[in-house]
Amino acid sequence: MKYFGTDGFRGRANEGLTVDHAFAIGRFVGWYYGLREGRKAKVVIGKDTRRSSYMFEYALGAGLVASGADAYLLHVTTTPSVSYVVRSEDFDCGIMITASHNPYTDNGIKLINSGGYKMEPEVLELIEDYIDGKSEVPLATGEDIGRTIDYVEGRNRYIGFLISSASFSMHGMRIGLDCANGSSTPIAKGVFDALGAKTYVVSNEPNGFNINRGCGSTHIEQLQNLVAEKGLDVGFAYDGDADRCIAVDEHGNVVDGDLIMYACGVYLHKKGQLADDTVVTTVMSNLGLYKALEAAGLRYEQTAVGDKYVSACMVENGYSLGGEQSGHVIFSKYSNTGDGINTSLRIIEAMLGSKKTLSELTEPVKIYPQLLKNVVVADKDAVMADERVKAAVAGVETALEGEGRALVRASGTEPMVRVMVEAATPAICEQYVGEVVRVIESL
């Protein structure tokens, strides 16, 4: 697609993504779900804490209203909360304004369908055609013109849902939270406080420019320091829109999405709640996770990189748990998308239910060193199809003899291919990544 990638329409605010784009998206969506069918559409909008999110919120709202839709404004909230509100309160679709873990200078627009999932590609293609002037939609007039509605109560209902999903008390637990100066700021602490935890929070003072800056799930050091200094039981770090969670155990060790899926997968399996005894991963999950799952008697599926592919596999096969190493973890009982705060609650549930610390829950997983290198190329499709590249990857796989693996994949957004090797030591990773990279560079 021209504008919409794997996670929405992203770009530098008012450069790659402008208010004109936002207005056009609102215009088309309002017409497509409303006037096109002779009715009034209901669309809910959330945003993160970037300064530019204000202008995109109002541009989208203006476009929706001009096309006859009613726009419900959640204001600062998380991506999973928009998904929850859409599917639970009969909205036609949802829009989240965020660039996730990117710096404040970027922003993005994510579209969510009425089921709470990412918008279907065919609808996104129609929106792109409209942005490029290939189609037209009429303006609403008279009584058909829409309105904007302050709908912070929708966010409050989502908070209530999170609290009610926890059938346990956290009384006596000491928990650290890193809100990334982002969307989780008005939500996370209240949830943990309501469940009885003593919370210690950092990066919860957004000013429009500090989202993800040296904090959150992509800068875990701050949370590690907090857990160590305060002697906390566990810590959780979110990204800008809080659809990711990276945890820190009581010793200050990082617990990424792979380790979270293992701990929660084994716990759900013991409770008989892991559908088909299967965890859905992406091809980037660590070999150590797969070996630990097999040792625990669990199966796994692999998808392409991207939580939308994980979600699609889960829906198609009825699986209950899946996610990415980056911290997007989906528990289908509670959400249709990655939800950082919900993931935190499920980790706490596994800890309390198993009467184990997080380090004890993840101890069976022996993570293999992993090295990833990006190679800029003229034609990534040609590289991926080249027999010499395939032979180089196969040669590495053979040499590793089951104690590692090699993977080459094309970037979805840039002119490059990514070469990844997992092996017993960093030196072995470096050796074999170098071999494959040299083949690619010689083409």
Predicted confidence (pLDDT) per residue in 60-100, tens digit: 999 999 999 999 999 999 999 999 999 999 999 999 999 99
Q: Are residues 424 and 289 in the same domain?
A: no
Q: Is the pLDDT of residue 413 over 70?
A: no
Q: Which residue, 309, 344, 362, sits at the end of a domain?
A: 362
Same domain, residue pair 104 and 189: no
What pLDDT score was predicted for residue 335?
94
Are 415 and 330 within one domain?
no
Cβ-contact 297, 276 below 8 angstroms? no
351 and 435 inside one domain: no
Percent of the chain with pLDDT over 90: 95
Instruction: Give every CB contact of residue 70 below 8 A, 6+ residues apart in sequence.
Output: 40, 41, 42, 43, 64, 146, 147, 148, 149
Nearest-angstrom CA–CA distance, 94 and 320: 23
- Asked if 326 and 282 sit in the same domain, the reply is yes
Looking at the fold, whether 291 and 321 belong to one and the same domain comes out as yes
pLDDT tens-place string over residues 421-440? 999 999 999 999 999 999 99
pLDDT value at 296 more than 80:
yes
| CB-neighbour burial class of residue 161 (10 A; exposed 0-12, middle 13-18, buried 19+) | middle
Could you list the residue range(s) of the whole structural domain that residue 401 is in? 370-442
Mean pLDDT (the chain, rounded): 96
Whether residue 412 is predicted with pLDDT greater than 80 in this model: the reply is no
Same domain (yes/no): 379, 407? yes
pTM, 2 dp: 0.93
**Domain end among 304, 331, 362:** 362
Please indicate, yes or no, if residue 176 is contained in any of the structural domains. yes
The pLDDT assigned to 306 comes to 87
pLDDT, average across residues 93-115: 97
Is residue 353 domain-shared with residue 417, that is, in the same domain? no
**Contacting residues for 39 by C-beta, under 8 A, at least 6 apart:** none
Determine, yes or no, domain membership for 297: yes
Q: Which of 53, 100, 183, 326 is catalytic?
A: 100
Number of domains in the chain: 3
Average pLDDT over residues 186-205: 98
On the question of pLDDT at 218 being above 70, the answer is yes
Q: How far apart are CA 299 and CA 314, in angstroms?
A: 13
Query: Same domain, yes or no, for 384 and 357?
Result: no
- Give a yes or no: residue 160 inside a domain: no
Examine the domain organization and report whether 119 and 33 are in the same domain.
yes
The structure tokens 């800008």 sit at 240
Detail the residues annotated as belonging to a binding site for Mg(2+). Answer: 100, 239, 241, 243
Asked whether residue 158 is domain-assigned, the answer is no
Domain end call among 303, 336, 362: 362
Query: Could you tell me if 74 and 222 lie in one domain?
Result: no
Q: Do the domain assignments include residue 202?
A: yes
Q: Do 108 and 35 sit in the same domain of this protein? A: yes
* 100 catalytically annotated: yes
